[in-house]
Chain A
Amino acid sequence: AQSVAQPEDQVNVAEGNPLTVKCTYSVSGNPYLFWYVQYPNRGLQFLLKYITGDNLVKGSYGFEAEFNKSQTSFHLKKPSALVSDSALYFCAVRDGYNFNKFYFGSGTKLNVKP
């Protein structure tokens, strides 16, 4: 069965410090992995994706993510957090057999304090 776990409901970090938002997955077939960000009362915005190739994926707003096949993880990272990065972050995996289905984690609230 396909699933995504985001083990932390909330991550707190000081502005200027590096941040990591964790994601682990379970999928049949090739893993197609995505990160999205959601601001209050808004839709989700795409940040980055891993399809194949380099394990370090770079995306929007300075975010990057590291794919680790042996640990089945896809952690989101940023070298220097901004207050404006405060939002809800979702990891998602595409069903390996039915590409029309995505599975989302429960979300991690990132708080960046000045």
Chain B
Amino acid sequence: DGGITQSPKYLFRKEGQNVTLSCEQNLNHDAMYWYRQDPGQGLRLIYYSQIVNDFQKGDIAEGYSVSREKKESFPLTVTSAQKNPTAFYLCASSTGTSGRNEQFFGPGTRLTVL
């Protein structure tokens, strides 16, 4: 999974709790992304960041928050405002902004709300 680590692999949360998913990359990539994967729906973009201290909302940002204090780290917080957080979460990174470069993905975190 190419230099991107995500932790934990599995995460269980009670309703009303905030949880933070970790994503770290050692690829020296500028851009980082968070996706949510649900069965039969492909990947949906939650947030992305082009550079340190800057990030943008994706298509389904409501109920999520991120930070980008270091180039190698892009943690995602799933807040209690997210109505249906049970899903598989994938972090990715990419180098350059020319459009030619593919994304590298981490192994994912499976979040289950009890």
For residue B84, CB closer than 8 A to chain A, the reply is no
Which of B58, B103, B104, B106 has most chain A Cβ within 10 Å? B103
Q: Is the CB of A30 within 8 A of B105?
A: no
Q: Is the CB of B42 within 8 A of A104?
A: yes
| Contact pick for B105, options A4, A44, A101, CB 8 Å | A44
A-B contact pairs, 12 of them (CB 8 A): A4-B42, A34-B102, A43-B107, A43-B108, A44-B103, A45-B1, A51-B100, A94-B99, A96-B99, A100-B31, A102-B33, A106-B41
For residue A99, CB closer than 8 A to chain B, the reply is yes
Q: Is the CB of B42 within 8 A of A106?
A: yes
Q: Which residues of A contact B33 (CB under 8 A)?
A: 100, 102
Closest to B107 in A: A43
Closest approach, in angstroms, between the C-beta of B42 and any C-beta of chain A? Answer: 4
Given known pairs A46-B102, A49-B102, A107-B42, the reply for A100 and B48 (CB within 8 Å) is yes
Contact with A along B34-72 (1 / 0, CB 8 A): 010000111111001010000010100000000000000
For residue B97, CB closer than 8 A to chain A, the reply is yes
For residue B21, CB closer than 8 A to chain A, the reply is no
Q: Is the CB of A105 within 8 A of B42?
A: yes
For residue A9, CB closer than 8 A to chain B, the reply is yes
Q: Which residues of B contact A71 (CB under 8 A)?
A: none
Q: Is the CB of A46 within 8 A of B48?
A: no
Q: Is the CB of B40 within 8 A of A106?
A: yes
Closest approach, in angstroms, between the C-beta of B89 and any C-beta of chain A? Answer: 10
Given known pairs A34-B102, A46-B103, the reply for A9 and B40 (CB within 8 Å) is yes
For residue A41, CB closer than 8 A to chain B, the reply is yes
Q: Is the CB of B99 within 8 A of A104?
A: no
Closest approach, in angstroms, between the C-beta of B106 and any C-beta of chain A? Answer: 5
| Contact pick for B107, options A42, A96, A105, CB 8 Å | A42
